Chains A and B, each alone.
Chain A
């Protein structure tokens, strides 16, 4: 049964090649692949929730020489999240890319990106993680350049070079780890690692590489141009999934593999950078002229919130309170993934139907595209953190953890960030509801508007009301449980 662990990786990979060989049927091939991947991920999540973590030594080679695939609650949850977002954005893309040539270029890369993403979530080997990071970076860059405009290519090239630097820093850390401990298997490393210079330097290298890829302030400068100039479905996954992949590794390394190596000081440093990201990103989002740039800066801010959890988790003793904070962190990441992809897809609809995405000229949008504007509002609810969205519960827990541990510093940061988020969301809505002046919109069809709406509903309603189940699933066995199967 554990061989089926390869399915979320193999399905997109196989279909990606098929889409490449059969360009005229790329769209049905792609949609079929995404549906099958979603089913495989859902099955995997269901199985992990029933039977606990799954481990597979590929080809029967024991970890050490071979490569292990490993799925636990955290990785299967993220797998399911990425399958849902990729399917929704994939369906939307059939309306976005009308020319057959565009579709033939889009689908193989899209599925290749899913392959890399899922391999990253399931990998239990340090070097394999480097390879998946590179694959993810390369396919994401190629997708970001698909628009073909000068600005998009320029941003993509910058994104590529910084992504490569991030991967190289990561690889340098991997090299040092192997030099120090003689293994690349994550499970073995967890037992071997000790707080000593080799582990510190290796961790510092890997974390700085990952921070560059997660775009934590002040390493965020490449993100807004790359995300704002990519085609809409691509922006959606870049913001929702690709930066989360690096964050997932960061989380796993910090809390699980290098648990004995990290220091409270380093956690504080991450927290302070996160706080600056929240303030700076929200401020720039508020000042943005274009809707896509607003969404991109909002990603910088929302990623900042995730880093606020690090000093809190360092201060909380192991137990129920820490588990709750960890659950809130994952809930926050999931809510942002759904809300931000919804926001980018809705922005794409407006951009195509109105011919621009300047916020101040959005007048008439609410009348012409009511579903899309409703989606913007719903996604906005999740980004601000209003009830009943998942982000509301997550921020609530963030507040209580900050107060319980006496780290008052974060309270005004969260409050200011939320106020700024409310300001930029209402700024969009204010202009969107203004009466039109000579603007003509074309009618949007269902496959363009509905995927975004469904993602926004997932972020605001499902994650809010279903958060208890998620919490129960994710917290007990997710991290630092110390038990490998």
Chain B
């Protein structure tokens, strides 16, 4: 079962790296905002993997609480980013 944890952890690390790269390299603003989200999802996945303590045990609640808080932060940040991007588009239309 350690294997499952490893798969989740490595996938999380990969997602984090992919998102990070795209956020720095991509030109399109929307792609960069999405990339930041993918990167965040990678970190959250790694946190969920850390919480795993075996089939018989209950998972560690602290990383779960962190993921919840992290998702709230990510949603607000994305909302702000999208609002700013829309403001830019409106400025271009005028």
Contacts and interface: CB of A to CB of B under 8 A. Distances in A.
Interface string A143-178: 001001010011011001100110011011011001
Helix, strand, loop or mixed for chain B's interface? helix
Interface stretch (A13-21, A70-78, A134-142, A296-304): A134-142
B20 interface: yes
B77 A164 contact: yes
B50 A175 contact: yes
Contacts of A171: 40, 43, 70
The bracket for how many chain A residues form the interface is: 20 to 34
Nearest to A174: B66
B23 A161 contact: yes
A133 to B, nearest CB: 10
B80 interface: yes
B6 interface: no
Contact of B80 (A131, A141, A148, A168): A141
A171 B62 CA distance: 14
B43 A134 contact: no
Nearest to B17: A172
B84 A153 contact: yes
Given A138-B80, A171-B70, A175-B50, A145 B43 contact: no
A338 interface: no
A127 interface: yes
A406 B89 CA distance: 55
Given A157-B29, A157-B85, A165 B69 contact: no
A419 interface: no
Contacts of A153: 84, 87-88, 91
B85 A165 contact: no
Contact of B20 (A138, A145, A168): A168
A479 to B, nearest CB: 27
Given A165-B20, A168-B20, A178 B73 contact: no
A154 B29 CA distance: 10
A157 B80 CA distance: 9
Contacts of A178: 47, 50, 62-63, 66
A145 B87 contact: yes
A134 B40 CA distance: 13
Interface in B65-85: 66, 69-70, 73, 76-77, 80-81, 84-85
A185 B33 CA distance: 31
A65 B65 CA distance: 10
A179 interface: yes
A278 B87 CA distance: 35
Interface in B45-60: 46-47, 50
A157 B81 contact: yes
Contacts of B33: 161
A148 B88 CA distance: 9
Interface residues of B, number: 31
B91 A150 contact: yes
B20 to A, nearest CB: 7
B54 to A, nearest CB: 15
A165 B32 CA distance: 10
B48 to A, nearest CB: 10
Contacts of A130: 70
Contacts of A168: 16, 19-20, 36, 39-40, 43
A160 B73 contact: no
A184 B46 CA distance: 16
Most chain-A Cβ atoms within 10 A of its Cβ — which of B24, B80, B85, B92? B80
B43 A160 contact: no
Nearest to A179: B50
Contact of A165 (B23, B63, B73): B23
A179 B13 CA distance: 13
B57 to A, nearest CB: 14
B89 to A, nearest CB: 10
B90 to A, nearest CB: 10
19 contacts: A131-B73, A153-B87, A153-B88, A156-B84, A157-B85, A157-B88, A160-B80, A161-B23, A161-B32, A164-B23, A164-B81, A165-B20, A165-B23, A165-B24, A165-B36, A171-B40, A171-B70, A178-B62, A178-B66
* 6 interchain residue pairs of minimum CB distance: A150-B91, A157-B84, A134-B73, A179-B50, A164-B36, A153-B87
Interface of B: 16, 19-20, 23-24, 29, 32-33, 36, 39-40, 43, 46-47, 50, 62-63, 66, 69-70, 73, 76-77, 80-81, 84-85, 87-88, 91-92
Given A153-B91, A164-B81, A179-B50, 20 more contacts: A127-B66, A127-B69, A131-B73, A134-B77, A141-B80, A145-B84, A148-B87, A150-B88, A150-B92, A153-B84, A157-B29, A157-B81, A157-B85, A160-B81, A161-B36, A164-B40, A165-B24, A168-B40, A171-B40, A178-B50
Interface of A: 65, 127, 130-131, 134, 137-138, 141-142, 145, 148, 150, 153-154, 156-157, 160-161, 164-165, 168-169, 171-172, 174-175, 178-179, 184
